[in-house]
A and B are shown apart, each in its own frame.
Chain A
Amino acid sequence: MRHRFGSVAAAAVLAAGCTGVFVGPNEPLEGSALFEYVWRDLDRHYAFFIVKAVNWDSLHDVYAPRAAQAGTDAELADVIGAMLAELRDLHVNLVVGTRVYRYSGYDARPMFFDSVVVRTRYATDIQLAPDGRVQFGHAAPDVGYVRIPSFRGTSPGSDLDAAMAQLGDVRALIVDVRSNTGGSRENGLEIAGRFADRERIYGLAQFRDGPGHAEFTPLEPRLVTPVGARRFERLVTVLTNRRSYSAAESFVLAMRALPTVVVIGDSTGGASGAPLARELPNGWTYRLSVSVEYTADSTVYESVGLAPDVWVRGSAAELAAGRDAVLDTALAVIRRVLPSGVVARP
């Protein structure tokens, strides 16, 4: 009996080792098949065809013959990368080894921001918070300055708490997200929540929800909620430029939903869709946007960006002369608003 039981158990373990048989082998995807897979995946899931007025079928007609003629993987990657760049979406890319194919048309946008000017002429006591996620100092004795260069990685919330504790009893704060190219939206909301008095709707979103380019989920609200034991509910100015992208834009949206915040600078970059990663059997990865994001008043800001409350662009000449026009404007706004305590957006 023991012998029979042992045989059955051994057979079961042996059978368990080949579970993959029930799922089937991986399908080989090469050449045109790989191109078609990527094209079809975006056709089914990319969110901005209508917003960007892209004729995806036409792009297939243009690039499929080129993919068929591609003789090497590198040539095929060039074709797929070029097709994806037609979407003019910073959340769409193709990664082949160390090479990243993406739309580069926004790279020429001016940023007119130099952290050295800020450090040497404005916030001369600037320092890094303990985890290095946030830089902080004083732009004036009663005005704090906090720079968040990225929303990538772990949450910067505790760093902001540490910065605020060291800044002391400032009457106003400047939060600088110029040239912040994004990261995790949740990280941005964790910072914005430290300025929130109550839960507020800051935007709307809807996701691709069917094979048709116009099939979306119902609009769902994006919320900013109070976070942290100690919150700063005094005057805050948020500084932006054309290189403030993605999660930084969600952060700006969330901040401008708060009554004590004034956004100053240039329009943000306009990279809004929720990115979703994909992988291919040859090891390549790519990303696509699967949501359309709206402001709270239902305006799509993809490609366009978020307009500030006070528009200031600055210039290379001013920066060369050691002047940061956006920061100057922020200080002027703070001096104007502080006596009355009323934030009146233009």
Chain B
Amino acid sequence: MPRWALGVVIVPWLLASPCQAQEEPAREHHLTVAGGPSFVSQRDANASPLRYGGTAVSFQAGYAARTGGTWLAVRVGGALGNLRSDLTQDNLPRQEVWRGWVETEYAHVLISDYRTRWLLGARLAVHGTAIHHFYADPGGSEAGYTFASAALGPIVAVERAIGAHTTVSAWLGASLLALIARPYVGGGFLNQGGVPHVRAAALDLFQAPQLTAAYVTEIDRGTDLVVAYHAVVERYRDSQPFRYASQDVSVALQLRLGGGQ
């Protein structure tokens, strides 16, 4: 891992650490269940030189604990979609895409006033993509392709109260170092022989920026409605490159357990 990459992770943590001592924690727990449409585009050169895109349905469950100075969150989610290419006619060729993720993030409040909080922290994101490709050849061939990443990187966020019971927030994350697991060729879950190759990838090989913007408003005591936009991009540089992008618009119910707002 390059030294500058270590610096990008560690320095913000050192900067953020004093806040923990300054804040008197009033712990609050959140449980969130979200769902909505996801707009997906991807190109796995193992499967096809063509870009495939379409809509998916995504869902996510999350837990978060926050104090005045810290933020800890764990999210588990998935998406399932049916993608088409420029060649697709009569639903062939097409791709069914399954995607799953587990994300953990921890952040400290860097700066705060009565309306705005700036946070800085780190995120560990494990994402897996499985593609079931249906070819338009005379044999009606099918094949499976997989790509998985475990990426660590910084996150920066800003939250702003825009009403008595309403906040907006934006979270930006990126990967600095990742482990990539990918079979060499078509295989994986449909064909035998799809033994994943695992390799470390720094920012030059793997980029995975994420952006989340959320609008949170209280709809009942202890219950919030969350409307969010979430964009994920994965770009893996390889002899057979992999690119994936999704933009989700989700609606979530969030339960606040313990503490106050």
Q: Residues of A with Cβ closer than 8 Å to B?
A: 1, 5, 8-9, 12-13, 15-17, 19-27, 29, 37, 44-45, 95, 100, 205-211, 217, 220, 274-281, 283, 285, 287, 290-291
Contact in complex: B193, A210 (CB < 8 Å): no
Contact in complex: B53, A290 (CB < 8 Å): no
B150: min CB distance to chain A, Å: 21
Contact in complex: A19, B49 (CB < 8 Å): no
Contact in complex: A277, B185 (CB < 8 Å): no
Partner of B49, one of A12, A220, A281: A281
Given A27-B49, A281-B87, A283-B87, A276:B184 Cβ within 8 A: no
How many angstroms from the CA of A8 to the CA of B130 in the assembled complex? 32
Contact in complex: A23, B51 (CB < 8 Å): yes
Q: Can you list 19 pairs linking A and B with CB atoms under 8 Å apart?
A: A9-B227, A15-B229, A16-B248, A16-B249, A20-B51, A22-B245, A23-B51, A23-B245, A26-B49, A26-B51, A37-B49, A44-B240, A274-B193, A277-B137, A278-B48, A279-B49, A279-B50, A281-B87, A285-B137
Q: How many residues of B contact A (CB 8 A)?
A: 50
Partner of B143, one of A206, A207, A277: A277
Given A217-B195, A290-B193, A22:B41 Cβ within 8 A: yes
Q: Beta-carbon contacts of B116-139 to A below 8 Å, as 1s and 0s?
A: 000000000000000000011111
Given A19-B246, A20-B51, A207-B192, A8:B213 Cβ within 8 A: yes
Beyond contacts A23-B51, A26-B49, A290-B187: 14 other A-B pairs, Cβ-Cβ < 8 A, are A5-B227, A19-B39, A25-B51, A27-B49, A100-B138, A206-B193, A207-B185, A209-B185, A220-B193, A274-B192, A279-B136, A281-B87, A285-B136, A291-B193
Q: Beta-carbon contacts of B6-32 to A below 8 Å, as 1s and 0s?
A: 000000000000000000000000000
Given A5-B215, A19-B41, A279-B48, A287:B141 Cβ within 8 A: yes
How many angstroms from the CA of A29 to the CA of B86 in the assembled complex? 14
Residues from chain A with a CB closer than 8 A to the CB of B51 are 20, 23-26
Closest B residue to A17 by beta carbon equals: B39
Which positions 149-188 of chain B face chain A at CB distance < 8 Å? 162-163, 166, 184-187
Residues from chain A with a CB closer than 8 A to the CB of B37 are 16
Contact in complex: A205, B193 (CB < 8 Å): yes
How many angstroms from the CA of A44 to the CA of B185 in the assembled complex? 9
A39: min CB distance to chain B, Å: 14
Q: Beta-carbon contacts of B193-209 to A below 8 Å, as 1s and 0s?
A: 11101000000000000
B26: min CB distance to chain A, Å: 27
Contact in complex: A8, B136 (CB < 8 Å): no
Contact in complex: A8, B215 (CB < 8 Å): yes
Closest B residue to A216 by beta carbon equals: B193
Contact in complex: A12, B213 (CB < 8 Å): yes
Residues from chain A with a CB closer than 8 A to the CB of B135 are 277-279, 285
Residues from chain A with a CB closer than 8 A to the CB of B194 are 207
Partner of B184, one of A208, A277, A283: A208
Residues from chain B with a CB closer than 8 A to the CB of A277 are 135, 137, 139, 141-143
Contact in complex: B239, A211 (CB < 8 Å): yes
How many angstroms from the CA of A285 to the CA of B142 in the assembled complex? 13
Partner of B42, one of A9, A17, A23: A23
How many angstroms from the CA of A249 to the CA of B51 in the assembled complex? 36
Residue among B87, B139, B213, B227 with most chain A CB within 10 A: B139
Decide if B99 is an interface residue (CB 8 Å cutoff): no
Contact in complex: B192, A205 (CB < 8 Å): yes
Secondary structure at the B interface, as helix, strand, loop or mixed, is strand
Closest B residue to A222 by beta carbon equals: B192
Query: 9 tightest A-B contacts by CB?
Result: A207-B193, A277-B141, A22-B245, A12-B229, A16-B247, A285-B137, A16-B39, A277-B135, A19-B41
Residues from chain A with a CB closer than 8 A to the CB of B136 are 279, 283, 285
A201: min CB distance to chain B, Å: 14
How many angstroms from the CA of A210 to the CA of B182 in the assembled complex? 12
Decide if B66 is an interface residue (CB 8 Å cutoff): no
Closest A residue to B185 by beta carbon equals: A45
Contact in complex: A12, B41 (CB < 8 Å): no
Residues from chain A with a CB closer than 8 A to the CB of B80 are none
Residue among B136, B247, B249 with most chain A CB within 10 A: B247
Which positions 41-80 of chain B face chain A at CB distance < 8 Å? 41-43, 48-51, 53
Contact in complex: A279, B243 (CB < 8 Å): no
Decide if B98 is an interface residue (CB 8 Å cutoff): no
Residues from chain B with a CB closer than 8 A to the CB of A278 are 48, 135
How many angstroms from the CA of A217 to the CA of B50 in the assembled complex? 27
Contact in complex: A22, B192 (CB < 8 Å): no
How many angstroms from the CA of A1 to the CA of B168 in the assembled complex? 12
How many angstroms from the CA of A271 to the CA of B40 in the assembled complex? 39
How many angstroms from the CA of A80 to the CA of B186 in the assembled complex? 22
Partner of A279, one of B43, B93, B163: B93
Partner of B138, one of A44, A95, A217: A95
How many angstroms from the CA of A23 to the CA of B129 in the assembled complex? 15
How many angstroms from the CA of A131 to the CA of B4 in the assembled complex? 66
Residues from chain B with a CB closer than 8 A to the CB of A283 are 87, 136
Residues from chain A with a CB closer than 8 A to the CB of B229 are 8, 12, 15-16
Contact in complex: A44, B233 (CB < 8 Å): no
Residues from chain B with a CB closer than 8 A to the CB of A281 are 49-50, 86-87
Residues from chain B with a CB closer than 8 A to the CB of A9 are 227, 249
Partner of A1, one of B39, B138, B166: B166
Residues from chain A with a CB closer than 8 A to the CB of B143 are 276-277
Partner of B191, one of A20, A24, A276: A276
